[in-house]
Amino acid sequence: MIQKQTSSLEHYTAQIDLLLNRALQKIDQLHWITLSSVQVKGGESFPDARTVVLRKILKNRELVFYTDKRSPKVTQFERNKNAVALLYDRTAQMQLRIKGTIEIDTQSALYENARDQIPNQAKVNYNTLLAPGSALLNENPDRTDEVIHFALVRFHPHTFDLLHLTPEGGIRIKAKNTDDGMLSDARWLVP
């Protein structure tokens, strides 16, 4: 027999921020997020996904990631700003799917601060002479001494969809993110 759900809508809405805050922790499995975009090739559109590291969450729930500004995802987001981020906590069996839009940032104070704080061992991710995905003759790409290809990927969420898998059945909610970072219009969904 399926038990009646006992958790409130407020409880599950609060889980959204709990999962996001855990994702900032480097030791947590949620720190690595799947970020999806749309790739257009030969007039056809295809989903494209990659794992990114969450670097920062701003007060309005904006997620910040780092990238090489020559990477294919940057071109994809310049053509189509729509994106989906996916977090999955396998222990709690909670999936958080976030829909929103992307902004590529190479000029703001946030960008300047992040670029100046890149750890030395991570600078190699942004100083190759060739763009990410370029063919190489061996495993070692040529590099410069400067971090010149760094950019921020700023994810502006507009919808959160949380699915909790339980032995009694799935529980699912959807909530909208307002411009000032409030969750609104939370409602139950069929899992």
What pLDDT band is residue 144 in, cutting at 50, 70 and 90?
A: confident
Which pLDDT score is estimated for 5? 52
pLDDT of residue 147 exceeding 90: no
Tell me what the mean pLDDT of segment 33-41 comes to.
Answer: 95
CATH number of 9-128+146-189: 2.30.110.10
Domain ranges (residues) in the chain: 9-128+146-189
pLDDT average, residue stretch 127-140:
90
To the nearest 10°, the Cα dihedral for 70, 87, 159, 174? Answer: 170
Here the tokens at position 162 are 């949380």
pLDDT score for 6: 62
Q: What per-residue confidence (pLDDT) applies to 68? A: 97
Contact 158, 177 (CB under 8 A): yes
Model confidence, pTM: 0.92
